[in-house]
Amino acid sequence: MTFIAPHYNKSKRKSFFQFLRKDRYLIKTPWWLKKLYPGCLWSMPDNVKTLYLTFDDGPHPSITPFILDQLKQYGASATFFCIGENVNRYPEVYQRLISEGHATGNHTQRHINGWKNTTEIYINDVLEAGRFIKSRLFRPPYGRMRRKQIRGLRTDKMTIVMWNILAGDWDASVSPEKCYKRIKNKISGGDIIVLHDSEKAWDRMRFILPHLLEDFTKSGFKFDKISV
């Protein structure tokens, strides 16, 4: 991705690229990182106690139903950023999340990395997924896109949804308890929170989600889907 950050000196930008190449991630998205992706949605209005759970990489035949059951217990809504190939594999799961009132978003057809593909290949993959996922919401796999890819999707009137809280539930080096503990005190109203309905994230996600729903519901929060 081409970053334009004139107010950062060369050494800082070099350090940031090294940080990304090591696949590190930030739990709470800082303001300066949001500036590198202009025109993307990072959070929702924070004037009410509402959180926005999002789930990437599904649908999955057993994990997604688990999530739906948990959400139903708390009357919670969420947004699912789906991979086109998985929608084709598990159409009944996809239809269930729609019928239960949740929002869907496009997560490409094959979960491709924008930094490793041309704009033409990337946009075409998104459009292919759009044949099965009827949504103007889009989230880039790995959070990685080029500026031209962003402009191309926005021209097609898609809203690119990023996040304010990245749980890191795919990170097998972190225990489920620690994974939840390190996000719990960083969450605030309007946050868009990323979890995954994937096998890689299962051990941590299945611990985080019930605790997150219970703890924040007790604190007076509600969980809503993204609507723009």
Residues 161 and 16: their CA atoms lie apart, in Å, by 22
Residues 185 and 105: their CA atoms lie apart, in Å, by 27
Identify whether the C-beta of residue 164 lies closer than 8 Å to the C-beta of residue 192: yes
Residues 86 and 80: their CA atoms lie apart, in Å, by 12
Q: Minimal CA–CA distance to 101: which of 134, 65, 64, 72? A: 72
Positions marked catalytic: 56, 196
Q: What is the DSSP string of 152-174?
A: HHHHTT-EEB--SEE--TT-TTS
Structure tokens at 189: 């109203």
Identify whether the C-beta of residue 183 lies closer than 8 Å to the C-beta of residue 27: yes
